[in-house]
Structure 1
């Protein structure tokens, strides 16, 4: 079972318990525990397939389960809705693919790549000034496909890691 597909199913109103019951009712045993783990990781709040895959990678790296799509505000108003929030550590983590920088369809009309980069930098600066935020980090597809590199990034940000879930099922 694919976590991005499960995220989408939950967003469309399918109940986690119904999905789990369907898997358990199947005669096949091969892959059942992995499917149950995927169902537990699924979250309707996921903002994109990249974030879904990122969440699996975070689990493989042994990160604590993050809060998804946490909004931050300051005296000037809305700062950001972040991909992953680790409240115990005060760490914001963003899944950062190249598309938002290079795909013109994802930018406002007349906005350049430089505009997007500057906007992201200012957003990140405001997040870092928020009293709850101790660190802001970014990861993308390369880190999502290398648990050791992602684990090092997390530890550098102050997020503890241990081995669990999908990593144990291999």
Structure 2
């Protein structure tokens, strides 16, 4: 049994803490990556069970975003396609109930890291693509290999590689509907 999808943010928080990091004060990108990789190997319950549904994937994004004043940023994100039942007013589970199956809805849990400006990070906002692309390889050895490939991709992008080696000036977790 895995972690219920609604607890995915708490699961990433726990993984970061197990790796010696405060989610609001990450000071080591490589340690954060290891924590994120461990989190990505946790099975998630409540996601779309349909084969090939792209129900559980990840992406790494880089650039400059308005939410942090345009500072250079890295985001580690896990995206979940969840199916949930919402009670629309009836008695759940009874005949004639108003339960409505909703979904799949896309939810994302992200670790956001931002960095002080510097010449080595100057081009991070102009890189195209500005992310690793979504990967939906299932949890296990295949996902581990996919994560290694993303890490190799980052090494080939000088501004992203520089951010990876820099100390973040801020960090935070987000768990939002991406609908």
**Greater strand fraction, Structure 1 or Structure 2:** 2
**Greater helix fraction, Structure 1 or Structure 2:** 1
Q: Same fold (TM over 0.5)?
A: no
Normalising by structure 2, what TM-score? Answer: 0.27
